[in-house]
Amino acid sequence: MIPTITAFESSPDEGQGLARDMRVRWALEEVGQPYDVRLVSFKSMKEPTHRKLHPFGQIPTYEEGDLVLFESGAIILHIAERHAGLLPEDANARARAITWMFAALNTVEPPIVEREQVLYQEHGKPWYEERLPIIEERVRARLNDLSIRLGATDWLDGAFSGGDLLMVLVLRRLEGTGILKDYPNLSTYVARGEARPAYKRAFDAQLAVFTSKQPGRLYGVA
């Protein structure tokens, strides 16, 4: 059965793969599962039809027959459990890979998202100048520990897994901030993820949503 996912009709990042449908697209590409995409507007996401799929009125969602899922982490885990390619066979290695999925979402991503929120929503507030460096320090503390753990290895725990998929995309949110370059092995790790053919297919697919809407722009031609 071909699953259907939802994605932004008009993503604020203009197709740079920062919206969370990218996680689902990449996972599906890694396991070789074709998928359909339903694009949703910001308005339609908040309407009852979409809220039946996603209680919080967000993307991504995942529909497969009778099954409807939301939360990108849960969707990746579902895909990884049903297809080879994102979780090891060995039970303990599998549990560790799942642990890294949670670490990406629960430990590394929160300060990164909080930093973005301070930057975009609290700019100009009286506390802004004081608060930003505090949050950046929290981000750096996580990156420092992650960098030490990753060391000189290619992936977090043996072969590439769903944990790496989520971690690479979480770290990508820091691209362009200048923070990641202070952790060379993490920069290389992100580049390694981005070099995977499945990543490229997923990236191109979500970018095509943006480029196809730009008059005079050809897909793949900036």
From the CB of residue 165, how many other CB atoms can be counted at a distance below 10 Å? 29
**Can you read off the two tokens belonging to residue 121?**
């929503």
Is 13 one of the binding residues for ligand GTB (CB under 6 A)?
yes
Burial 91-102 (b: 16+ CB within 10 A, else e): eeebebbbebbe
Is 115 one of the binding residues for ligand GTB (CB under 6 A)?
no
Please tell me what DSSP assigns to residue 105.
Answer: I
Stretch that binds ligand GTB, among 18-26, 80-88, 126-134, 183-191 (CB under 6 A): 18-26
Distances from the Cα of 206 to the Cαs of 178, 210, 217, in angstroms? 25, 7, 15
Q: Which amino acid is at 158?
A: G
Q: Which amino acid is at 14?
A: E
Is 19 one of the binding residues for ligand GTB (CB under 6 A)?
yes
Q: Which of 58, 147, 161, 206 touches ligand GTB by CB under 6 A?
A: 58
Is 59 one of the binding residues for ligand GTB (CB under 6 A)?
yes
Minimum distance, C-beta of residue 121 to ligand GTB, in the bound complex (Å):
13
Radius of gyration of the chain (CA): 18
Nearer to ligand GTB, 18 or 39 (CB): 18
Contact criterion met (CB below 8 Å) for 15 and 79: no
Tokens 């996972």 correspond to 27
**Can you read off the two tokens belonging to residue 149?**
């753990």
Is 18 one of the binding residues for ligand GTB (CB under 6 A)?
yes
Minimum distance, C-beta of residue 154 to ligand GTB, in the bound complex (Å):
25
Stretch that binds ligand GTB, among 68-76, 92-100, 160-168, 201-209 (CB under 6 A): 68-76
Is 11 one of the binding residues for ligand GTB (CB under 6 A)?
yes
Nearer to ligand GTB, 116 or 136 (CB): 116
Q: Which of 37, 38, 71, 192 touches ligand GTB by CB under 6 A?
A: 71
Report the DSSP beta bridge partners of residue 5: 37, 62
Is 72 one of the binding residues for ligand GTB (CB under 6 A)?
yes
Minimum distance, C-beta of residue 183 to ligand GTB, in the bound complex (Å):
21
Question: How far apart are alpha carbons 90 and 166 in whole angstroms?
Answer: 20
Chain positions contacting ligand GTB, by CB under 6 A: 11-13, 18-20, 45, 57-60, 71-73
